[in-house]
Structure 1
Amino acid sequence: MVKAMARSEPADRLRELVAQVPDPEIPVLTIADLGVLRRVEVSDDGRVEVEITPTYSGCPAMDTIRADIVDRLAAAGYPDVEVRVVLSPAWTTDWMTEEGKHKLREYGIAPPGPRPSGRVMVRLSVKCPRCGSPDTREASRFGSTACKALYACDSCLEPFDHFKAI
């Protein structure tokens, strides 16, 4: 059970609470790890405003994330919550934390590399998150979700998702 917080508690404490909401599609990641959590503010009357940005505009996890944020804040004594989805600027894998990328790798999903900036970058390989081999190939442009591609490792013969750099 979450302990109720005083109404004078600063927004950064509530941000810490909201930041721990897990991603419903990749439960080892939080919305902070993903960079989905944008802003948390508390008004003088105790109303909490939260802004989140989906990993892509059609992300089906947003409704679940919104409900989880509202539930978490209500349990902490903040029943008046508005969660807004902000589409601009668009989310990018650059917003993911290094800890989040490490969690992905440990979970068996190859994390995204750096996003191309102006130049066309050719990714020579994606390291297998299971055995570390660069001897992998893309099996399908789309994996278990639209933000991931399905890869196969030719060394350990295991399939794995690769989080696309966008």
Structure 2
Amino acid sequence: MPLGPSQRPSNEEDAKLWDVAATVCDPEIPVLTLEDLGVLRDAYAGPDETVVVITPTYSGCPAMDTMAADLETVVQAAGYRNVRVVQVLRPAWTTDWMSPAGQAKLTEYGIAPPTGRTAAGHNSGPVRLALSVKCPRCSSLNTREMTRFGSTSCKALWVCNDCKEPFDYFKVH
């Protein structure tokens, strides 16, 4: 399994399964596929078993059960049998795995994508700096955090000081 951002398998059968699994959307942010989000980690289309591997965005994410059920439904509908969805915790998911297409979809949907990248390792590597968050409506950087807790645990509530509109910000994780 990849240690960084996931990649479509090179094996033809596994790649076909990946393409099916990649159509499943995040139940909390339906404009993002699990591939866009970086949650889809791997796919194996074996002779006796079909396995799709996902990583939660954080421990206890309430959307994981829905993601797994949606994956099973879509993969079985595509003709695969003995489908098993496996959740892996290592390596831990990071917003660095979100695709550029996923970040663009967030902006179009009115959610500011994560700014910056996560620190490389715990207590080592570069120091994370708080970067300006761009308003997804007017593109202003003159924004401020209203509350660290938004409509889901992955998001914070921000407001634009120029257009005065509130918006969700997908937190760096």
In structure 2, C-alpha distance between the alignment counterparts of 1:95 and 1:116, rounded to whole Å: 10
Q: Quickly say closer, same or farther: Cα 1:54–1:131, change in 2 above 3 A.
A: same
The corresponding residue for 1:44 is 47
Q: Quickly say closer, same or farther: Cα 1:52–1:130, change in 2 above 3 A.
A: same
Q: Quickly say closer, same or farther: Cα 1:116–1:41, change in 2 above 3 A.
A: closer
Give the secondary structure class of the aligned counterpart of 1:82: strand
Deviation of 1:141 after TM superposition, in Å, equals 0.5
Deviation of 1:122 after TM superposition, in Å, equals 2.5
Structure 1 letter corresponding to 2:171 = K
1:1-166 maps to which residues of 2 (within 5 A)? 10-45=13-48, 47-117=49-119, 118-166=125-173
Higher mean displacement: 112-121 or 134-143: 112-121
* Structure 1 outlier segments of 4+, above 6 Å: none
TM-score by length of 1: 0.91
Give the secondary structure class of the aligned counterpart of 2:141: coil
Q: Is the 8 A contact 1:22 1:28 kept in 2?
A: yes
Identity of aligned residues (%): 59
Deviation of 1:124 after TM superposition, in Å, equals 4.2
Q: Is the 8 A contact 2:114 2:171 kept in 1?
A: yes
The corresponding residue for 1:3 is none
List per-residue Cα deviations over 1:5-50 (Å, max 9, x = no partner).
xxxx7110110010110000000000000000001001123x2011
In structure 2, C-alpha distance between the alignment counterparts of 1:31 and 1:37, rounded to whole Å: 5
Structure 1 vs Structure 2 CA RMSD: 1.2
Structure 2 letter corresponding to 1:12 = A
In structure 2, C-alpha distance between the alignment counterparts of 1:165 and 1:28, rounded to whole Å: 19
Deviation of 1:77 after TM superposition, in Å, equals 1.2
List per-residue Cα deviations over 1:77-125 (Å, max 9, x = no partner).
1131111110111000010000000000000000012224323233242
Q: Quickly say closer, same or farther: Cα 1:104–1:44, change in 2 above 3 A.
A: same
